[in-house]
């Protein structure tokens, strides 16, 4: 029974008990040596013991009139546990006032040291990666324009789909055919008399113009039909690329 009681007392004893006794008895050199050996390097478990050790060392420095070191230890102790309450029975009033002043003047530094001690609960920031296409979705290599544009005359569909050379050829061919046909028809109609007939001298010219009108109309129709055929049949549809190995045709 006695052995168990002694074991409990040993376990309950604080490693700072002897240091407190040395400080209270005025043995500042001994208190200083033991505290420095406990703190540098740190050989104390728990924030409460570490904070108390820093403040005890600060009080020792303060009693020895090493105020700069005392102030630094106060800051370090409060950074470990800012809510530490000092025992007025252990520390003299002038040191308690010293701690209050240091807490006020070095609030920012205390907060910085406290933040350095906290473990990061969030992962470090990483560059934002470009969004990945969802499975089943795809991204078009060519602009997702409707292939119905190929039905428009004068190469509009080819221009829209990024084929300016073909578009230019079709626009010129269809334009010339339409212009020739329109000019021939207009001239032919102007040669008619009030009765809607051609005079004997204009009959040959009218026949030639009618042929020219038909040639221009057929040329326009042929160029238009070729443009539609080339766009809808000969030109491959835009390709959609999704996941590696996954390819889909563009939808109109």
Same domain for 79 and 148, yes or no, is no
Same domain for 158 and 101, yes or no, is no
Q: In the structure encoding, which two tokens stand for residue 201, read together?
A: 């001298």
Domain boundary among 66, 84, 117: 117
What pLDDT does 238 receive?
60
User: What is the pTM for the complete model shown?
Assistant: 0.46
Pairing state between β 139-140 and 239-241? antiparallel
Tell which residue, 23, 53, 59, 25, has the closest CA to residue 37: 53
Residues 196-224: tens digit of each pLDDT: 777 777 778 878 878 888 888 888 888 88
Beta carbons of 166 and 174 less than 8 angstroms apart: no
Choice between 185 and 25, residue whose per-residue pLDDT is larger: 25
Q: Which domain holds residue 221?
A: 142-249
Report the alpha-carbon distance of residue 46 to residue 224 in Å, rounded: 87
Residues 110-150: tens digit of each pLDDT: 999 999 887 655 555 555 555 554 544 444 444 556 777 77
Q: Does residue 7 belong to any structural domain of this protein?
A: no
Q: How many domains does the chain have?
A: 2
User: Taking all residues of the chain, what is their mean pLDDT, rounded to a whole number?
Assistant: 78
Same domain for 24 and 79, yes or no, is yes
Same domain for 236 and 175, yes or no, is yes
pLDDT of 248 above 50: no
Choice between 229 and 66, residue whose per-residue pLDDT is larger: 66
pLDDT of 38 above 80: yes
Q: Does residue 80 belong to any structural domain of this protein?
A: yes
Q: Does residue 136 belong to any structural domain of this protein?
A: no
Same domain for 96 and 153, yes or no, is no
What pLDDT does 127 receive?
56
Q: Does residue 165 belong to any structural domain of this protein?
A: yes
Same domain for 97 and 188, yes or no, is no
Tell which residue, 21, 13, 100, has the closest CA to residue 56: 21
Report the alpha-carbon distance of residue 158 to residue 171 in Å, rounded: 10
Assign residue 113 the CATH number of its domain. Answer: 1.25.40
Q: In the structure encoding, which two tokens stand for residue 21, read together?
A: 């006794």
Same domain for 168 and 112, yes or no, is no
What pLDDT does 230 receive?
81
Choice between 204 and 37, residue whose per-residue pLDDT is larger: 37
């Amino acid at each position: 029974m006695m052995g168990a009681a002694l074991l409990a007392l040993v376990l309950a004893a604080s490693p700072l008990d002897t240091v407190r006794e040395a400080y209270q008895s005025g043995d500042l050199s001994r208190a200083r040596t033991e505290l420095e050996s406990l703190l540098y390097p740190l050989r104390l478990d728990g924030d409460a013991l570490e904070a108390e050790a820093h403040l005890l060392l600060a009080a020792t420095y303060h009693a020895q009139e090493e105020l700069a070191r005392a102030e630094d230890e106060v800051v370090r102790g409060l950074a470990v546990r800012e809510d530490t309450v000092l025992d007025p029975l252990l520390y003299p009033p002038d040191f308690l006032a010293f701690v209050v002043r240091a807490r006020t003047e070095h609030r920012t530094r205390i907060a910085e040291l406290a933040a350095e001690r906290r473990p990061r609960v969030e992962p470090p920031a990483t560059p934002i990666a470009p969004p990945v296409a969802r499975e089943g979705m795809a991204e078009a290599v060519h602009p997702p324009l409707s292939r119905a544009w190929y039905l428009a005359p004068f190469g509009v569909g080819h221009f829209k789909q990024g084929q300016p050379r073909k578009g230019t050829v079709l626009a010129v061919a269809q334009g010339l055919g339409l212009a020739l046909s329109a000019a021939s028809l207009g001239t032919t109609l102007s040669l008619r008399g009030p009765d809607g007939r051609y005079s004997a001298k204009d009959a040959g010219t009218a026949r030639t113009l009618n042929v020219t009108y038909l040639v221009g109309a057929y040329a326009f129709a042929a160029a238009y039909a070729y443009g539609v055929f080339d766009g809808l049949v000969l030109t491959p549809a835009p390709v959609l690329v999704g996941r590696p190995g996954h390819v889909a045709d563009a939808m109109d």
